[in-house]
Amino acid sequence: MTHSELTLESTSNALVKATPAAIEALKQLQQTEGAGKPGVRLGVKGGGCSGFSYLLEFDELREGDNILLQDGIQFFMDRKSSIYLKGILLDFAAGLKGKGFVFKNPNASSTCGCGESFSV
């Protein structure tokens, strides 16, 4: 893989952004669950009750991935997912109903009640 196939974006005009709470949660999880994996894959796959569902997992860099480096975390996104993720904000919330990652997608025309799937 050559460097010309990769895109490194600054956080000021980034494809996606993560809140400080999300970055902190990812750093903690990467120490236990992401051992040996250099980054976090953000993606979209077909399915879920609204048509598309989000993918968030520790992974390796793949050919053609877009790369975003934010506060020490590398995010990898395939080109197809990048279209649906543009402008998304990844947050981490904790409350009475549990805790977890929250996707705030300005491109979604509707989302499901659980917040894990969407349609455009």
Look at residue 109 in the predicted model and tell me its pLDDT.
61
Asked if residue 113 is part of any domain, the answer here is no
Exposure b/e, 89-107, CB count within 10 A at least 16 = b = ebbbeeeeeeeebbbebee
Asked if residue 40 is part of any domain, the answer here is yes
Residues 15-29: tens digit of each pLDDT? 889 999 999 999 999
Asked if residue 114 is part of any domain, the answer here is no
Please give the tally of structural domains in the chain.
Answer: 1
Look at residue 6 in the predicted model and tell me its pLDDT.
45
Cα torsion 72, 24, 82, 79: sign: positive
Asked if residue 115 is part of any domain, the answer here is no
Residues 30-82: tens digit of each pLDDT? 999 988 899 999 998 876 565 778 899 999 999 999 999 999 999 999 999 88
Asked if residue 22 is part of any domain, the answer here is yes
Look at residue 64 in the predicted model and tell me its pLDDT.
92
Asked if residue 68 is part of any domain, the answer here is yes
What CATH number did the domain enclosing 36 receive? 2.60.300.12
